[in-house]
Amino acid sequence: MAVEKLVQAESVVQPARRRRWATFRRAPIIPLAIITLIVLTAIFANVLTPYSATDISLSERLRPPFWEKGGSLAHPLGTDPMGRDLLTRMIYGARVSLMVGCLGLLVGGGVGAALGMIAGYAGGRVDAFLMRVVDTTLAFPIILFAILLVVILGGSLFTVVIAIALVLWARYARVIRGEVLSLRERDFIAQARIARCSSRRIIMVHIFPNILNTLVVLLSLQVGWVIIVEASLSFLGAGVPPPTPTWGSMIAEGRDYIASAWWISFFPGLAILVTVLAFNFFGDWLRDALDPTMRQL
């Protein structure tokens, strides 16, 4: 009997292991490689380029990429109107974009997840009040809200992070609240109540681990959105103030030179496109990998 049970258990475990291996074997290699490259580039920006991202050199201004006439391998992607190396500014801009994205997601996602769990578990007036706040927040244009914050607090990295977090939390709160509404009706929650567990313990020990997969997927899917928002704010002058390089501000600097120096706006725009697509593909795969109902056997 013991041998038969062992064989049955092994027959259940082996297919599960094969499914997990098949899921991770289908990981998007190219998006993961792009994300890894961007992260490493942002971390080791000081080592990868000999130039400063802010020092002006008017004698080198508007140099084209190396493959065009007048270009040089000293500045592979050319220079901007101030003579600054474009590749260097893109590398440092990646650091700013990832920093804003990570901080905005951590703050907004953490607050949103916490309020979503409270609203879903408490229900009643607490739920109704928090959801009306969520509706109001989602209805407010983020660009207008960020510009208002810049006027009040002044342009800075901190202001952009706060603006993104104050809008982003509502998205997380709504999704997490829906997950908790279904979880609180499960038998294990009823058993925890019978055992006289406190509400805080039920939320942290029994509910939070069950919404963690959803939270991770939301974080991965929102990275691209945060990068686009930061770039949009910088383009409008409501983001990180110059001379700190950001992809959005670099595009704005090149809009007056589209006909004569196309590379100033083109390469930062291409960096935003590739980065956002990579994170979106990775988020889609992560959702399928962590959600058993989405897996293809």
206-235 confidence digits (pLDDT tens): 888 888 888 888 888 888 888 888 888 888
Neighbours of 105 (CB within 10 A): 23
Q: Which of residues 237 and 131 earns the better pLDDT score?
A: 131
The per-residue pLDDT for range 54-103, each reduced to its tens digit, is: 888 888 888 889 888 888 888 899 898 888 999 999 999 898 888 888 88
Of 3-7, 117-121, 130-134, 257-261, the poorest mean pLDDT is in 3-7
Angle in degrees, 0-180, between the axes of helices 86-122 and 208-235, rounded to the nearest 10: 140
Better-scored residue on pLDDT, 138 or 6: 138
Q: Does the pLDDT value for residue 147 go beyond 80?
A: no
pTM score > 0.85 for this model?
no
pLDDT averaged over the chain?
82
- Which residue shows structure tokens 């006439």? 69
3-state DSSP: the chain helix, strand, coil percent, rounded to 5? 75, 0, 25
For residue 295, report the phi and psi dihedrals to the nearest 5 degrees.
-75, 145
What is the CATH T-level fold of the domain 29-41+84-291, as seen in this structure?
A: MetI-like fold (1.10.3720)
CA distance 188 to 193: 9
| Percentage of residues in the chain having pLDDT higher than 90 | 8
* Cα 138 from Cα 276, distance rounded (Å): 22
> What pLDDT score does 40 carry?
92
Contact (Cβ atoms closer than 8 angstroms) between residue 98 and residue 91: no
> pLDDT band for position 282 (50/70/90)?
confident
Contact 157, 239 (CB under 8 A): no
pLDDT tens string 261-276: 899 999 999 999 999 8
DSSP code string of 256-293: GGTTT-THHHHHHHHHHHHHHHHHHHHHHHHHHHH-GG
**235, two tokens:** 């383009």
- Tell whether the model's pLDDT for residue 12 goes beyond 60: no
DSSP E strands, the chain: none
Q: What is the mean pLDDT of residues 248-255?
A: 87
150/77: higher pLDDT: 77
d(CA 61, CA 56): 9
Q: What is the pLDDT of residue 9?
A: 44
Q: How many residues does the chain have?
A: 297
Spatial distance between the Cα atoms of 198 and 131, rounded to a whole number of angstroms? 24
135: left (phi over 0), alpha (psi -120 to 50) or beta: alpha
pLDDT tens digits for range 15-53: 545 555 455 556 678 888 998 999 999 889 888 888 888
Q: What is the mean pLDDT of residues 201-210?
A: 85
> According to the model, what pLDDT value does residue 96 have?
87
pLDDT band at 10 (very low <50, low <70, confident <90, very high): very low
